[in-house]
Structure 1
Amino acid sequence: MKRLSLVLILLFFISCKKETPKSPLDNLADLDVKLSVPNPGEWIAEHNESGQSFEEYTQIDPVTISEKRKVIYIQPIGNFTSEEKIIVDKTVEYVGKFFQLKTTVLPLIPEDAIPSDKKRMNSGVEQFDASYITHKLLPKKMPEDGIVVMAITAKDLYPSEDWNYVFGLASYQKRTGVSSFNRFLTDNDYTLCLNRITKTAVHEIGHMLTINHCKHAVCLMNGVNHLPESDTKPNALCSECLKKLSWNLKYDDKKRFSELISFLNSNHLEKDALLLQKQLEALD
Structure 2
Amino acid sequence: MIKFIAWSFAVIVLAGCDRPERKIQGAPADDSYKPLARLDVALGKPAPEDWLAVHPEPGQTFEQYVASKPVRASSEPYEIYLQPVGVFTPEQTGLCLHTKDYLQIFYGLNVVLLPAIDDTVVPDSARRSEQLLTGPILDHLEKTRPRNGLVMAITAKDLYPGSNFNFVFGQARLTKRVGVSSFYRYLERPIDSLSYRRCLERLIKTSSHEIGHMLSCQHCTHAVCVMNGSNGLWESDSRPNRLCSVCFRKFQWNTGFVAVSRQQQLVAYFQKHGMNRDYLLAKEDLAAIEKP
Instruction: Provide the TM-score with structure 2 as the length reference.
Output: 0.84
Say which of 24, 35, 38 aligns to 2:32.
24
Amino acid at match of 1:181: F
Amino acid at match of 2:266: L
Tell me: CA distance 1:204–1:131, structure 2 relative to 1, closer, same or farther (3 Å): farther
**Are 1:243 and 2:246 matched, yes or no?**
no
Aligned to 2:79: 71
Amino acid at match of 1:191: R
Alignment of 1:131-280 (within 5 A): 131-134=135-138, 136-146=139-149, 148-187=150-189, 188=191, 189-280=195-286
Aligned residues: 258
Cα-to-partner distance string for 1:232-253 (whole Å, 9 max, x where unaligned): 0111111111010001111101
Distance, in Å, in 2 between the alignment partners of 1:54 and 1:68 is 21
Tell me: CA distance 1:216–1:131, structure 2 relative to 1, closer, same or farther (3 Å): farther
**Are 1:127 and 2:131 matched, yes or no?**
yes
CA contact (8 A) 2:32 2:259 kept: no
Distance, in Å, in 1 between the alignment partners of 2:74 and 2:260 is 22
Query: Which structure is higher in helix share?
Result: 1
Structure 2 counterpart SS, 1:173: helix
Structure 2 counterpart SS, 1:45: helix
Structure 1 counterpart SS, 2:176: coil
Amino acid at match of 1:28: L
Distance, in Å, in 2 between the alignment partners of 1:46 and 1:106 is 37
Tell me: CA distance 1:133–1:49, structure 2 relative to 1, closer, same or farther (3 Å): farther
**Are 1:118 and 2:126 matched, yes or no?**
yes
CA contact (8 A) 1:203 1:221 kept: yes
Amino acid at match of 1:248: N
Unaligned ranges ≥5, structure 2: 1-28
Structure 2 counterpart SS, 1:88: helix
CA contact (8 A) 2:161 2:171 kept: yes
Say which of 52, 61, 64 aligns to 1:56.
64
Tell me: CA distance 1:67–1:217, structure 2 relative to 1, closer, same or farther (3 Å): closer
1:273 Cα deviation (Å)?
1.4
Amino acid at match of 2:116: L
Which structure would you say has the larger RCO, counting Cα contacts within 8 Å and 6 or more residues apart?
2
Structure 1 counterpart SS, 2:128: strand
Distance, in Å, in 2 between the alignment partners of 1:277 and 1:131 is 40
Distance, in Å, in 2 between the alignment partners of 1:48 and 1:67 is 32
Distance, in Å, in 2 between the alignment partners of 1:72 and 1:235 is 19
**Are 1:40 and 2:42 matched, yes or no?**
no
Distance, in Å, in 1 between the alignment partners of 2:232 and 2:41 is 21
1:224 Cα deviation (Å)?
0.8
The structure whose Rg is larger is 1
Distance, in Å, in 1 between the alignment partners of 2:284 and 2:233 is 26
